[in-house]
Structure 1
Amino acid sequence: MDQMRWYAISREFNDVVRVWDEWRTTLRKHPCTESYNIVMGLYVQVGKDSDAVRVFRRMIEEGALPNCRTYTIIIEHLVRTRKLDSAIELFHMLPHVRIKRTLKQYSVLVEAFTIANQLDVVKVLLDQMRSDGILPVRAMLWSLQQMQSAGYDAETNELLRDMLSDGRIKMIGYSMDSSEDDSDDEDEEIDGNNTNAVDQPHLKPWLDPASLANALQNWGAEEVSALEDANLVWTTRLVCKMIRSFKSAETAWQFFCWVSCQPGFIHDIYTISRMITKLARQGCVDLVDQLLSKVEREGIQLSFSTIRLIIDFYGISRYGDPALRVFKKH
């Protein structure tokens, strides 16, 4: 697999296929799904559409299961060939075949339909993105600004406020954290460093969420006091990254409760989804139940992907009854 990836990055198409064929002869069953994705993606890049279809059909016939990256490749190809109706139709089908919709898929479709000036479709995509608990990345900034210019203020103001500079933040230097993809999915990373569209400032380089979370692992009175004295401006994106970075779900929960009391911050679908999956991953059933009850009382609709993750994590931890309870209730 590593050789295939290396050759794919350098666009050595023949070497990728050669390594794949050699690898297949050593296996008793089909290779992993990602190997099909690499070959199919390369066929698409060089315009060999029929060969790409053949690889996809071969994947199905040999018993390999397509994943979200497989469908991302197909969606990108449909967008590239200007078959936007087919691309959006496939995208809407994914939850019905239990495939997670990803940040990369949303990014590709939002950009394509913005360029095509089909802003009503972009509005629907943004609504679905929020429902799935996925935050937009800066690569979507141009699309959001086009939406705002067209009068879609209600749909874009909150997202743009989180992506653009906050007057309370002293902006100097560049952020050390280049990753904008907060999703725990198998899809490609989104380039969050593309700032050509807007000349925007960045957070101070010392504000690294992973390092900050690591320093707060004990969550004692001294650490909390120092955090309060720092007077940080808590945004949805920063809180999501903090929750993801905590090693302990209990510590993440303490931070989650603490930050909810900070001036100007309110938990939303993004932070709640992140916290619930963090707790479910580590088998914190009681805390998950508390959050699910809160979500139900406040009328917040969790995405299919979040519910599926809760059930999957419960299954891994062998919490059958809680998993069944969540399944029946949602």
Structure 2
Amino acid sequence: MAPVFQRLIQRRVSLVISKTWMPYEIPLYFQRSQLICSLKHALSTRSVDSALSLVKIIEKVPHFTHSRSSLKALGIALAKFRRFSELKGLINSIRNKEFPGVSTESIDMDEFLWHAASGDLDSVLHLWDKTKGHRGRRCVEVYNVLMGIHAKAGNNSKAVKVFYKMMEENAAPNSRTYATMIEHLVSSGKLDSAIEVFRILPRMRIRRSSRMYAALLKGFVDARRIEDVSDLRKEMQIDGVLLPLRQCSDKEGEDDDEDEDEEDRGDVELASKIKFDLEALSALDDANLAWTSSLVCKILWRMMSNNKVEDIWAFYCWLGSKPGRFTHDAYTASTMLKILAMRWTSEWDAEQRNKGFTDNWDGELITKIKEDGISLSYNTLNYIIERRGLRGVIRLFGRAEEICHPLSKFHHMILYSTFMRKVSHRRQLAFPRGPLDLLDEMISRGILPDIPTFTGLMHYFLVKKEIIIRAYLRRGKVDQAFKAFQDMRDSNFMPDAATKAFLVKHLSKKGKLEEVAVVEAGSQEINRLPPLQLHGYVWNVSSFDLERVYNIYFDSF
């Protein structure tokens, strides 16, 4: 390794360790950062000896200590180059607590991931039992990794079996699960199956990620299916997905792509480590960065690790005050809204939760978004409804059509379902309307609830020792109870026999004989739902959709 690179790395590490920044150092840091990113890129494409040499140099920097991140990066490098003896030594060193401050709690999972990165299927299978947690359950990511390694090895049926095993063991598939499935289908030439799974995901409340879009777009471009490419591009805008540049993942799983773009990685690292005071912002301005939506989104997410919400908001506003150099768009506005909403559901920035920025996101930012003609994706609004305090959600929900347009009936249904779930989880009567009132409003607007919504409502009323139809009947709303029965029947979700008998009794008292005949005839139409179910995942996924996805995947191989 050239001496100039050695000095560069040592200087950069010293800056990072000190965590003290002088404004005049920032432009110089950017230059160094770009060089170092180029060096890292070169190392990743050369032998592992280069990576090991880099580690040895860094370890000589005064006061340097390894973190879990640096050891994870080293483990991945050793695994990719299949240097199993050094990898075993690293694992043993971690287990023996030779790295102060690095916990051994996750070493079993790290070892599993490293062997998966090496493509060593035998070792992965050998480590399978070690991935169980203290309660004897595995995290979803373990299944995802095993499913992916089988798919890459061409073990198609085994990949399908892993997906089934997830459901069998009550591990709810997530966005990364379906991204792996779609990539597997596309790489196997099963484009129609891949897009069919992709179309089902919104009904299962699964966010369609840039990773899924990238796989499908590549598949359709290679197959010269231009019309499908055009349709996907339109859906990307509706879903609020930014391509081809990737967005940085945050701790909530905002994006599934682990790799970042090499050209702006250094900028992100710098921005996430300095405090955005006026002097630092001025120095950033002098650095003449080429601000892009992708870069700004990454920086905003990264700032969460060691910045208060007011610092992130100040940086966002500072960027917005630079016409000609950068203009906020739907992607950066959505990211800022999500970050502001997240502070209500986590310990992050807990001291600031009730100070200062209580309504800024709902006032200033939403107003600015409207003034700029920016339309947010319904996914963004749904994300915020899930995480924001109830009062803020009530205001926001009422402005849904102003913020997100156009909103289809399906999008409205998803938003209503999320709102109902939010209200149903409230123990205190802070909201004058309950889930049943929202259901009435929803149906009156011609928006039919889907199976997960009905399942969630059934669970809500069962907890209260009621059923949705019974709840209507006890309130004397016979017509609404009958309408709920019809909607449930149309959604292939039939109530139990006792509830139907209770409904018939009340309809008969009101002399509604035609309705009685409809209910009794409906008893012949009960649809037997598939056996695959995710207990406790009401409001999200129906076993009907899960079975359909599984059948598509199974039939493809």
TM over 0.5: yes
- In structure 1, the residue matched to 2:442 is none
- In structure 2, the residue matched to 1:172 is none
Question: What amino acid maps onto 1:182 in structure 2?
Answer: C
| Mapping 1:201-212, distance limit 5 Å | 208-212=267-271
Q: CA deviation at 1:324?
A: 4.6
- Change over 3 Å in CA distance of 1:12–1:213 after alignment to 2: closer
Q: 1:219 aligns with which of 260, 269, 277?
A: 277
Q: 1:6 aligns with which of 92, 111, 114?
A: 114
Structure 1 moving runs of 4+ over 6 Å: none
- Change over 3 Å in CA distance of 1:53–1:235 after alignment to 2: closer
Q: CA deviation at 1:302?
A: 2.1
Q: CA deviation at 1:70?
A: 0.7
- In structure 2, the residue matched to 1:245 is 302
- In structure 1, the residue matched to 2:248 is 182
Q: 2:198 aligns with which of 87, 91, 99?
A: 91
- In structure 2, the residue matched to 1:43 is 150
Checking the alignment, whether the CA contact within 8 Å between 2:220 and 2:226 is kept in structure 1 is yes
- Change over 3 Å in CA distance of 1:258–1:85 after alignment to 2: same
Cα distance in 1 for partners of 2:268, 2:115 equals 34
Q: What TM-score do you get using the length of structure 2 for normalisation?
A: 0.45
Q: CA deviation at 1:15?
A: 2.2
- In structure 2, the residue matched to 1:268 is 329
User: Which one has the largest radius of gyration?
Assistant: 2
Checking the alignment, whether the CA contact within 8 Å between 2:249 and 2:257 is kept in structure 1 is no
Question: What amino acid maps onto 1:187 in structure 2?
Answer: D
Q: CA deviation at 1:102?
A: 1.3
Checking the alignment, whether the CA contact within 8 Å between 2:131 and 2:142 is kept in structure 1 is no
- Change over 3 Å in CA distance of 1:251–1:3 after alignment to 2: same
Question: What amino acid maps onto 2:237 in structure 1?
Answer: R
- Change over 3 Å in CA distance of 1:93–1:5 after alignment to 2: same
Q: CA deviation at 1:131?
A: 3.3
- Change over 3 Å in CA distance of 1:62–1:326 after alignment to 2: farther
Cα distance in 1 for partners of 2:148, 2:120 equals 13
- In structure 2, the residue matched to 1:21 is 129
| Percent of residue pairs identical | 39
RMSD of the alignment, in Å? 2.7
Cα distance in 2 for partners of 1:191, 1:231 equals 21
Q: Give the stretch that moved more between structures: 270-279 or 127-136.
A: 127-136
Q: CA deviation at 1:295?
A: 3.3
Question: What amino acid maps onto 2:392 in structure 1?
Answer: P
Checking the alignment, whether the CA contact within 8 Å between 1:133 and 1:270 is kept in structure 2 is yes
| Mapping 1:45-84, distance limit 5 Å | 45-84=152-191
Question: What amino acid maps onto 1:237 in structure 2?
Answer: S
Question: What amino acid maps onto 1:79 in structure 2?
Answer: V
Q: 1:254 aligned to 2:314?
A: yes
Q: CA deviation at 1:27?
A: 5.7
| Mapping 1:186-197, distance limit 5 Å | 187-190=256-259, 192=261
- Change over 3 Å in CA distance of 1:328–1:21 after alignment to 2: farther
Q: 1:323 aligned to 2:393?
A: yes
Cα distance in 2 for partners of 1:32, 1:327 equals 33
Cα distance in 2 for partners of 1:219, 1:306 equals 29
Q: 1:234 aligns with which of 291, 299, 309?
A: 291
**Structure 1 stretches lacking a partner, 5+ long:** 139-179, 194-201
Q: 1:279 aligned to 2:340?
A: yes
Checking the alignment, whether the CA contact within 8 Å between 1:210 and 1:241 is kept in structure 2 is no
- In structure 2, the residue matched to 1:313 is 387
Offset from partner CA, 1:116-153 (integer Å, 9 cap, x none): 11222222222332333332246xxxxxxxxxxxxxxx
**Structure 2 stretches lacking a partner, 5+ long:** 1-108, 345-356, 401-557
Q: CA deviation at 1:52?
A: 1.8
Checking the alignment, whether the CA contact within 8 Å between 2:330 and 2:376 is kept in structure 1 is yes
Question: What amino acid maps onto 1:55 in structure 2?
Answer: V
Offset from partner CA, 1:306-329 (integer Å, 9 cap, x none): 223323332xxxx23323544565
Question: What amino acid maps onto 2:298 in structure 1?
Answer: K
Cα distance in 2 for partners of 1:190, 1:124 equals 26
Question: What amino acid maps onto 2:160 in structure 1?
Answer: V
Question: What amino acid maps onto 2:382 in structure 1?
Answer: R
- Change over 3 Å in CA distance of 1:260–1:296 after alignment to 2: closer
Checking the alignment, whether the CA contact within 8 Å between 1:135 and 1:270 is kept in structure 2 is yes
Cα distance in 2 for partners of 1:307, 1:288 equals 12
Cα distance in 2 for partners of 1:260, 1:28 equals 48
